[in-house]
Amino acid sequence: MINTTLFTACFYVYTLALLAAIVALTSSKRWPSRVAQGLFITGFALHTVALLVRWAEAGDVEVAAFEGAEGRILAGWEWFKVWTSHPPWSNLYESLVCFGWGASLVALVGMRRFKVPVLPVLAIGLSMVVMGAASLLINQQISPLVPALQSTWLHLHVATAIFSYPAFGLAAMLGFLYLVKDGVPSETFGAVAAATALLIILAVGGASLILQAEYTLTPLVEHMGKLMPLTYAAQDAEGQTLVSNARLRVPVAGMGPVLMLAALTFLGALVVYAFTRKRPEMVPLFRWMLLGATALLTAALLILVGTVVVNGSLDLDSQQAATRVALNHMGGDGRTLVANFQLHGRGPFVLSLKGNPFEFMLLVVAWIGALGSWVLGLKRDWLETQLPAAERLDEGSYKTILFAFPFMTLLIITGAIWAYYAWGRYWGWDPKETWSLITWIVYSIYLHVRLTHGWEGRLPAALAVAGFGVVIFTYLGVNILISGLHSYAAG
Amino acid sequence: MSKPSNATHPTERVWRFFVSIKVTIVLLVLWGLGSVAGTLIPQNAEAWRYVQAYGPETANWLSKLGFFDVYHSTWYSLILLLLILAIVACSLNTLSAKIALAVTQPKTRRVSGTSKHHITRDIPCDDPPTALQALKREMEKDYKNVHVDDSPQEVRLYAHKQAFAHFMVYAVHLGLVIIVLGGVISALFGFEGVMEIPEGESRDVVFKRNESGHAPAALPFALRLDRFELQRFDTGAPKDYVSELTVLDGGQAVKSKRIEVNTPLNVGDYNFYQSSYIEQAALLVTERATGRTAQAVLQPFERRFLADLDLWVRLDTFRVDSQGMSAAVTLARPDGSVQQVTLLPDLEKNRVLQADQPLTVAFAKDRPAYTTGLMVVRDPGALWIWVGSFLMVLGLYLTFYTSHRRLAVQSGGAGVILRGWCQRNPQAFSREIDALIRRAGLPTGDHGAKDSNA
């Protein structure tokens, strides 16, 4: 498929744009920032073309499926209707590339409107992270739309999401820059980044990291010409199914202890931070610990990427070896209970970042946050002189939310109408629905807090930043952690 | 929270409490946290799962506190109720102030004061009367009515627009209240049920779903299934199914619609969704000796006693594919004699196979007998949800993107003075005023010091 190649190319162009934007920050000349902008626009144009190409390729799939089912060849208007019936937003991969496209569009508009330094770095970075996550997904295939997804309301639903979610991202960036300009201490940003990194490491590493200092990864196996995560099923002695379709995880040699050490150092940095309020002389120690933790996280990520690149094929051929690994991860009871253990797929197995794309991306985000907050402390004074007046940043963040909030409202409403036609109910307290309501509540709190005397300034700005976290959780986290109707994130 | 003085009356204190925007924020936070709780704990699961997950003691307490059905719990409803009360109280509290801004103040035809919402322009000019004329001409393009106060001392111009913007926030809040009420109406008066209609027949009873199972309820109209259509893959597996339904009111056809997944039939508050179907074989059994016949409509493994022929008939298998229908049927007399019949898509073959049997079986129709399964939803609240949603979105756009603007112009200083006030977005108003001055052919000058927001 040409489109996935184009999307990957798009990711690389965004990477170049980001590098140029970073160079532009350190340079007093105008050309690096022009180059960065030019590259970003090129990437966006490529992104647009890739989306259209995917739409056309999906159209071919739909036409083929329709003609196969009906046993006749389509022509004219009827062909066009079927050919355009599958816009590229029906599975997770498509959803992510659309989100990335919206992020780039909103970023380009935001960069033009607000002309704030550093904003290009943050905005291009967001597009890059989104496209990077998309490129790591295994299922990039186009499959015919299921009947429940063939609805005009779905298209409106997604279109509102494409504009509102990235706009909340832009508002969060401006809110963050407001907090920087307004004089929130660098250690506070560092502490927030450290706490986030710590949570991410613990969540991603899970019990095996905490209890055994092992970082585990799901290997891939080839199944019917496609790479699939390696899964297993297990039964107890009576033949009762204990687990089915569970993902097998194998440890990445050497990474666990380093990652655990990084987590402990982040924790230590947080403890030190707690003392810096009363004893400012401890700030340098905090910064050293933040740097150390970041270095350890960098090392852990390098071990992971190195293992995958250098030793991609995994020596896991025998059933016994796999069984041992799996039993290890079934916990204490599993050892006695499991009588029959079955691996879905036989070797050769491949260790790849694609086994757990979101876990890897979360670690990358933690790394960016930790490194960014450290660099922020280093360049704080310079940055504050570069940024425009705090009121302008606040105004920009506010106006962006004023743009996004009605779209968010429409997003919920179009979803309700769609659900009403598809399932006969407009609201069912499905986790996804509920989290979209929670997001809406967070931003209505933002709007009311701004109106409240004495609560203006930092609190709404912090809400704008945290709100985007809630948006991302609603968009991806709910699907990964809590199952629901929006099953697109499953594959 | 607000701190009412000790002297205030208790009702006054309750009032002050509710009209505080901080109370609204606290309620919004509680609403959000309550909603989060409902997504972290699986809702309405079987009791044993909770006991397994939390232990009997904790599970019991969580259950009493409504954490296993958060969104229908008393406390969740209470948060929403308090929120609505706070909205109503806030709206009533601010109404008089808004009327003053939108109606009373504009009547004074003056703009005075200094705040970041005030904009002042001193325009030096040699001929103020001409400048005022030019400004009046340009103001008439932006404003509907430009008032001219022609007093002996001076000439004053005054205009305002979008005064309605003050009240648009009420549309948003009213929208939210209507949505919540719509939800309450749905919960109280709505129901979900099932209905099965055999092809060619009509039904007017729906089986409501409730905790104990299904309870029959009469519909105010009847539904007839004119035709059921099942599209299959080549393998015979069902692909899509369609019901052609007619609504009968007192026996009269009112409307007809083809329904399928995603395309329901809507009759008043009722919606009918295609949810399932039953496929049966319509069999015609003939006793060769007497020529007597009887019909039976059966699902696989279903049997029926045909009294006319003193005979049990059972359908063993039934298959429909691109070739046609095939079936295996067992016929049994009460005396114990059994006859097995195989029906194939080829009718001639069937005749040959059954040539010298005492009983013959044939398909009564050239297609299976279908019964459509409909999900019936009555939701009188849905309409209010859409009305509330529309009002809310409209209100949001008008609240965010309109602003009451007032503009007064008079001669003074070194020429003419413009004084403007706007409800929100002073930057935009400032640009608008500068454009107006430029169109009038006057210098906008350096006014950076005049605007506190520049």
> Residue A390's pLDDT is what?
92
3-state SS assignment for residue A375: helix
Q: Does the pLDDT value for residue B450 go beyond 60? A: no
For residue A455, the chain B residues in CB contact (below 8 A) are 22
Cis check for the bond before B334: say yes or no (omega within 30 of 0). Answer: no
B263 with A421: Cβ contact below 8 A: yes
Q: Does the pLDDT value for residue B88 go beyond 60? A: yes
Counting residues of chain B whose pLDDT is more than 70, the rounded percentage is 94
B5-19, B344-358, B416-430: which is most confident: B416-430
Whether chain A has a CB inside 8 Å of the CB on B183: the answer is yes
For residue A432, give the chain B residue with the closest CA: B39
A444 with B400: Cβ contact below 8 A: no
B393 with A444: Cβ contact below 8 A: no
Chain B contact probe: residue of A391, A401, A411, A427 with most B CBs at under 10 A? A427
Neighbours of B107 (CB within 10 A): 7
A424 with B385: Cβ contact below 8 A: no
CB B37 within 8 A of CB B67: yes
| Cα–Cα distance, A336 to A339 (Å, whole number) | 8
Structure tokens that stand for B414 in this block: 């070194």
- Model pLDDT for residues B19-63, shown as the tens digit of each residue: 888 899 999 999 999 999 998 888 888 888 888 888 889 889 988
| Cα–Cα distance, B172 to B195 (Å, whole number) | 39
> Residue A239's pLDDT is what?
66
> Residue A320's pLDDT is what?
54
Whether chain A has a CB inside 8 Å of the CB on B191: the answer is no
Question: Among B183, B157, B7, B22, which Cα is nearest to B90's?
Answer: B22
Q: What mean pLDDT, rounded, does chain B reach?
A: 87
For residue B36, the chain A residues in CB contact (below 8 A) are 438
> Residue A292's pLDDT is what?
96
> Residue A341's pLDDT is what?
58
> Residue B393's pLDDT is what?
96
CB A215 within 8 A of CB A252: yes
φ/ψ of residue A474, rounded to 5: -65, -40
| Nearest beta carbon to residue A452 from set B21, B385, B392 | B21
**Greatest CA span in chain A, whole angstroms?**
79
B271 with A424: Cβ contact below 8 A: yes
| Cα–Cα distance, B302 to B318 (Å, whole number) | 11
A438 with B36: Cβ contact below 8 A: yes
> Residue A323's pLDDT is what?
62
A413 with B396: Cβ contact below 8 A: no
Sheet holding B405-412, edge to edge: B118-124, B415-422, B405-412, B155-161, B147-150
A438 with B35: Cβ contact below 8 A: yes
CB B281 within 8 A of CB B315: yes
Question: Among A197, A125, A128, which Cα is nearest to A366's?
Answer: A197
Element (H, E) at B120: strand B118-124
For residue B186, the chain A residues in CB contact (below 8 A) are 426
Contacts 24+ apart (CB under 8 A), A253-256: A253/A307, A254/A303, A254/A307, A255/A215, A255/A300, A255/A303, A255/A304, A255/A307, A256/A205, A256/A208, A256/A209, A256/A212, A256/A213, A256/A214, A256/A215
CB A218 within 8 A of CB A355: yes
- Model pLDDT for residues B149-179, shown as the tens digit of each residue: 877 777 889 999 999 999 999 999 999 999 9
Whether chain A has a CB inside 8 Å of the CB on B194: the answer is no
For residue B182, give the chain A residue with the closest CA: A426
> Residue A332's pLDDT is what?
47
| Nearest beta carbon to residue A435 from set B39, B392, B427 | B39
CB B368 within 8 A of CB B279: yes
Question: Among A98, A167, A91, which Cα is nearest to A439's?
Answer: A167
Write out residues 303-362 of B within 8 Å (CB-CB) of A: none
A441 with B31: Cβ contact below 8 A: yes
> Residue A330's pLDDT is what?
55
Q: Does the pLDDT value for residue B319 go beyond 80? A: yes
Q: Once rounded to an integer, what is the mean pLDDT over residues B222-231?
A: 90
Neighbours of B251 (CB within 10 A): 7
> Residue A91's pLDDT is what?
84
Query: How many Å from the N-terminal Cα to the C-terminal Cα in chain A?
Result: 18
Q: Checking DSSP bridges between strand B415-422 and strand B118-124, what pairing results, if any?
A: antiparallel
Q: Does the pLDDT value for residue B373 go beyond 80? A: yes
Size of interface A-B (CB pairs under 8 A): 91
| Cα–Cα distance, A427 to A413 (Å, whole number) | 10
Residue A417, strand partner residues: none
Residue B74 burial (CB < 10 Å; 0-12/13-18/19+)?
exposed
**Residues of chain A that touch chain B, judged by Cβ-Cβ distance less than 8 Å:** 69, 147-148, 150-151, 391, 395, 402, 405-406, 409-410, 413, 416-417, 420-427, 429, 431, 434-435, 437-438, 441-442, 444-445, 448-449, 451-452, 455, 478, 482
Shortest Cα distance, chain A CAs vs residue B131, angstroms: 34
For residue A445, give the chain B residue with the closest CA: B25
Structure tokens that stand for B333 in this block: 């007399």
| Cα–Cα distance, A238 to A36 (Å, whole number) | 64
φ/ψ of residue B258, rounded to 5: -90, 125
**Beta-carbon contacts of residue B384 (< 8 Å; ≥ 6 apart):** B178, B179, B181, B182, B185
Question: Among A34, A24, A38, which Cα is nearest to A121's?
Answer: A24
Residues of chain A with pLDDT under 70: 146-149, 234-239, 242-244, 311-347, 482-491
A426 with B31: Cβ contact below 8 A: no
For residue B261, the chain A residues in CB contact (below 8 A) are 147-148, 422
| Nearest beta carbon to residue B396 from set A150, A405, A435 | A405
Residue A73 vs residue B413, higher pLDDT: A73
> Residue B424's pLDDT is what?
86
Please report where in the chains the tokens 């919402």 appear, as a residue.
B117
Q: Does the pLDDT value for residue B233 go beyond 80? A: no
Structure tokens that stand for B195 in this block: 């209905």
Q: Where are the alpha helices (DSSP H) in B109-167?
A: 128-142
Q: In chain A, what are the helix, strand and coil shares in percent, each to the nearest 5?
A: 75, 5, 20
Question: Among A398, A469, A381, which Cα is nearest to A178's?
Answer: A398
Q: Once rounded to an integer, what is the mean pLDDT over residues B63-87?
A: 91
- Name the CA dihedral angle for B120, B124, B127, B128, rounded to a multiple of 10 degrees: 10
For residue B22, give the chain A residue with the closest CA: A452
Whether chain A has a CB inside 8 Å of the CB on B73: the answer is no
